[in-house]
Amino acid sequence: MQEHNIPSHPMDAIEVRPIQFDFDEIRNSNPVWSQSCPDFSIFINALGIHVPHFEQFLVQVMRRHRQELDNPALLQDVKAIIGQESHHAFNFTKWTKQLSSHYPGLAEIDRSAKAYFEQLFQRRDKKFQIGFTAGYETFTFLGGMIILNRYEELMADADENLRALWVWHQVEEVEHGAVAFDFYQAFYGQHEGYRRYMVGYAFLHISLETFKAYRVMLKGSRFTLKRRVLAWKFFFSFAWDLFAASLPVYRKGYHPRHHPICNQAQNPIATAWRQYHASGQNVKILNQNTMQSLTQ
């Protein structure tokens, strides 16, 4: 594979990649798609139900207010995150439709999540919208780093199509992980207490929405009581990991680029994936042989 220059920081050089996954091909995939950690499959699927609606909300908020920016570099990053998140929302909306055919009750949760973000955009003020966007994006980039750093545990043995979908998503969430923060700083940088408040607000929202979808998926999975207890143990363990990773976010002078799990250190899978895509390879399928070459 031809070597391509990768930026020195994982949040440098945000690239918009117009990737559309083949959901006709994915239709027959097991929704519990990771054999390495089946509970992770359920957790990340549950988390992903409300994510595309947030991503559409982010796009709307940034499009509404980006003309007020006077920083050309930030404006370029905003254009890039809008591009990336638009492609994420397109693909994950399709994945939600397929999940809804497997789990009765999931379609209603999806409709509720869509209505929630539509109301936020219509009824809440500018400060709340920008603050909530920054708070929510805190956890998408932290989740991206945690998942990539725990790749072997969570999805080393997994469906090649859905693994590709989620690896792509995590890599790009880390890439644009500072943009919503910088967007908030451009408008309300002096309101540091409100930023911290919105981080906690977003965490509670993400946890509750994921809990609701996870509960429906477990019910649809027909697990034994013991198996269900283990699944809930994973849920709360991963939620705790996200919470613990967010603690540096509350420090004075914090910036996402300097977070302890995302500074100059590059995740090797993310680096290899970016090189693989830059060389023109098909990133919509990541089979075992491909992943072995990316992780060596």
Confidence of residue 284 (pLDDT cuts 50, 70, 90): very high
User: Could you tell me where the DSSP H helices lie in the chain?
Assistant: 23-26, 38-65, 72-102, 106-123, 126-149, 151-155, 160-175, 179-188, 192-221, 225-246, 268-278, 288-295
pLDDT at 2: 46
- DSSP assignment letter at 118: H
Domains annotated on the chain, with CATH: 33-295 (1.10.620)
Tell me the average pLDDT across 254-275: 87
pLDDT at 266: 78
Residue whose token pair is 């070459």:
293
For residue 37, pLDDT beyond 90: yes
Confidence of residue 292 (pLDDT cuts 50, 70, 90): confident
Give the chain's end-to-end CA distance (angstroms, integer): 13
Q: What is the token pair recorded at 242?
A: 């996200």
pLDDT at 5: 62
pLDDT at 1: 44
Q: At what angle do helices 72-102 and 160-175 cross, to 10 degrees?
A: 150
Q: What is the token pair recorded at 94?
A: 């399709």
For residue 175, pLDDT beyond 90: yes
What are the pLDDT digits (tens) for 145-174? 999 999 999 999 999 999 999 999 999 999
For residue 4, pLDDT beyond 60: no
pLDDT at 294: 82
Confidence of residue 6 (pLDDT cuts 50, 70, 90): low
CA distance 43 to 219: 13
| β-bridge mates for residue 259, sequence order | 262
Identify residue 125 by its one-letter amino acid code: D
CA distance 81 to 53: 15
For residue 209, pLDDT beyond 80: yes
Name every residue whose Cβ is closer than 8 Å to that of residue 174 and which is 6 or more positions away in sequence: 10, 11, 141, 144, 145, 148, 262, 267, 270
What are the pLDDT digits (tens) for 213-235? 999 999 988 889 999 999 999 99
117 half-sphere exposure, CB direction, 13 A CA radius: 26
The three-state secondary structure class of 259 is strand
70-97 as b/e, with b when 16 or more CB fall inside 10 Å? eeeebbebbbbbbbbbebbbbbbbbbbe
Tell me the average pLDDT across 15-27: 91
Tell me the average pLDDT across 8-28: 88
pLDDT at 185: 97
Backbone angles phi, psi at 189, to 5 degrees: -55, -25
Report how far Cα 236 is from the mean position of its chain's Cα atoms: 18
15-30 as b/e, with b when 16 or more CB fall inside 10 Å? ebeebebeeeebeebe
Confidence of residue 13 (pLDDT cuts 50, 70, 90): confident
What are the pLDDT digits (tens) for 38-85? 999 999 999 999 999 999 999 999 999 999 999 999 999 999 999 999
